[in-house]
Structure 1
Amino acid sequence: MNNFYDDNAEEFFKGTVNVDISYLYDDFLSLIPDNGNILDAGCGSGRDSKFFISKNYNVTSIDGSYEMCRVAGEYLEREVMHMQFQEMEFENEFDGIWALASLLHVPSDEIKDVLKRFKNALKENGVIYASFKYGEFEGERNGRYFNDMDEKSSNELFEKLGFEIIKTWTTQDARKDREDEKWLNIIVKKINF
């Protein structure tokens, strides 16, 4: 997976940095306190980090691709941490985790561990926004690994790991010429036992 983004970082940046997904921000940000801490997990171009920073949130941006970290870091004019989700060891640091089109690259046999790491990274009542390509496919597609989700599979996954489902909805791809692609969006809250 990382080779795809390392090999295509500049093209991916140009194809995503100006895509308007502002309609996705409100539900997530309504659950984050003013000046709260957000982890942009798999930040890609840095577009969403830039928006959150402009709204005075404290943003930590990470990506699993060295080249995406480089181009996003140049765009943001700040460091983007190179880190795989499987390496995360944050503890009680974030009010919210933004995982737009990033968790979808985690295989099903690794995603529970990754979500446990996300949960550990969240403060009490912290929230996660995540998006997945809609469906039941898992495997390689166009040089990248995808783990698609639908409402049933995503809700079961997050609930089993101790999250409360706040909202699940579908959207069309916001990129030009990709409107026929459907996305599953989910917002969940950490439940403290």
Structure 2
Amino acid sequence: MGNHEPELKAFYDRQAPDRDLRARDPKRDEARQAFIASLVAAHRHSVLEIGCGTGADGLAFKAAGIHYTGVDLSEENVRFARAKNLEAVVGSVRELPFASGTFSAGWTMSTLLHIPDQDLSDVLAETMRVLAEGAPLAVGLWSGDDEEVIVAHDDFEPNRFYSRRRDDTVRRLFGEHGLVSGFTTWDRPGTGRHYQFFIVTKP
């Protein structure tokens, strides 16, 4: 399906002001707080968020005393995150602007679903490159029946690319890059889909 980053950047640049005001998913916030607690307990003091958006999750990591860095395709998202006094940079998960082994943990919600299956292995290898040995990467995705689509109706144009994967497909693809654990799902009413949340630990 190719690289859809230009369209994604344009979409999220336009949506940033609305997204900054969007209501939170309480179940995802609960998962984030449990992840933060696990990082604090394990003395993991730095986290990279891939697809940081406008910085809502970043504030929670920072409040817990974890050194937070966000990266996002969208300059507008990064501008909103920086306005919250968060460290954030414009960049692509395909070529992260960080040295190898920099971060002791990773967090990426609803971002890697924009990566086609044919590119996912390379993207995960690049993600793992910037994490330290044994680092946990928390991942959130929207489920689907292994379909890759440009959504027909979106909030803004250009419409976004999605790769929506079955639970077993997610376990297999991500399991090629680390130990998958804590795999949980929850339904989102009205969507016909569920959210997938799990940890991939770098060997």
Work out whether the TM-score is over 0.5.
yes
Q: Identify which of 4, 12, 20 aligns with 1:5.
A: 12
Which residue does 2:136 correspond to in 1? 127
Does 2:147 align with 1:137? yes
Query: Which residue does the alignment assign to 2:4?
Result: none
Do 2:180 and 2:200's aligned partners in 1 also have CA atoms closer than 8 Å? yes
For residue 92 of structure 2, what is the aligned residue in structure 1? 84
- 2:29 corresponds in structure 1 to 22
Match of 2:165 in 1: 149
CA change 1:139–1:36 in 2 (3 A) is same
Q: Distance in 2 between matches of 1:166 and 1:93?
A: 22
Instruction: Kindly indicate whether the alpha-carbon contact (under 8 Å) linking 1:96 and 1:128 is maintained by their aligned counterparts in 2.
Output: yes
Is the contact made by 1:44 and 1:69 (CA closer than 8 Å) also made in structure 2? yes
* Count of residue correspondences: 185
Change in Cα spacing, 1:28 to 1:150, as seen in structure 2 (3 Å) is farther
Deviations 1:19-55 (A, max 9, x none): 5432112442344233611001101120100000000
Counterpart-to-counterpart distance in 1, 2:170 and 2:99: 23
Alpha-carbon contact 1:149-1:184 (below 8 Å) kept:
no
Question: Per the alignment, in what secondary structure is the counterpart of residue 53 of structure 2?
Answer: coil
Which of 169, 177, 185 is the equivalent residue of 1:170?
185
Q: Aligned ranges for residues 38-187 of structure 1 at < 5 Å?
A: 38-74=47-83, 76-88=84-96, 89-135=98-144, 136-141=146-151, 142=154, 143-161=159-177, 163-173=178-188, 181-187=193-199
TM-score under structure 1 length normalisation = 0.87
Letter in 2 for 1:188: V
CA distance in 2, matches of 1:55, 1:41: 19
> Any conservation in 2 of the 1:150–1:184 contact (CA below 8 Å)?
no
Secondary structure in 2 aligned to 1:10?
helix
Q: Whole-Å Cα distance in 1 between the matches of residues 80 and 25 of structure 2?
A: 16
Q: How far apart, CA to CA, are the structure 2 residues paired with 1:19 and 1:47? A: 11
Counterpart code for 2:91: M
Q: What's the TM-score once normalised by structure 2's chain length?
A: 0.83
The unaligned stretches of length 5 or more in structure 1 are none
